[in-house]
Structure 1
Amino acid sequence: MKATLIVHRGVPGEPERTEQFEVAFEPGQSVLDGLRIVRRDIDPTLAFRFACINANACKECMMLIDGKVEYACTSRLKEGLTVLAPLPKKALVRDLVTEIVPPDERL
């Protein structure tokens, strides 16, 4: 069984593109699990944020998953296609990473 992640990629000032990645699917996997497999085994340049695994923090992995704002760590990966995009109305840093801290709170 396979899961296919269609990922919006790019950096500010360049045209956005999508790339498709296939990963082995196992029930219970999160979208974050799928992204980590892609970065580890297929494309180490894929940019996304997460901190919940070791830092006991949350809200880092928010992105658009099939058109809805969700956490990649709690959203379940599904067999078939899943479309991932950066958060809307946020400044793009790279790929799925957006600026999530309000400008007046940055150090």
Structure 2
Amino acid sequence: MQLYIVTWKFESSEDQIYSSEAFVDYVESGKSEDHIDGYERIAWAHTPQDGTGVIICKASNASTLFRVFGSWRDKFGMTWEYKPALSTEEFVGLLKEK
């Protein structure tokens, strides 16, 4: 699976506030820990002061990420960016190949 850095941003503070109850339910109900084929969340961090955040995850492809995050975009006006990334070990290996 490919390592990804995923960032999100709310279009407005109203959208962020509107999503709060759904997010609390998502976490407290255990849904945030549900297994999704082709996806593994490694870490997530929230920066609510500006309506953004970051997820570090592994996914089989970008289509999987769209399935994982698409409903949040549809319901709460969030934009998502996906960037393939390298672990430190992968990056060091590439540098040593030079």
Task: Determine which structure has greater relative contact order: mean sequence separation of CA pairs < 8 Å that are 6+ residues apart, divided by chain length.
Answer: 2
Question: Fold-level match, TM-score > 0.5?
Answer: no
Name the structure where helix makes up a greater proportion of residues: 2
Normalising by structure 1, report the TM-score: 0.29
Which structure has the larger Rg? 2
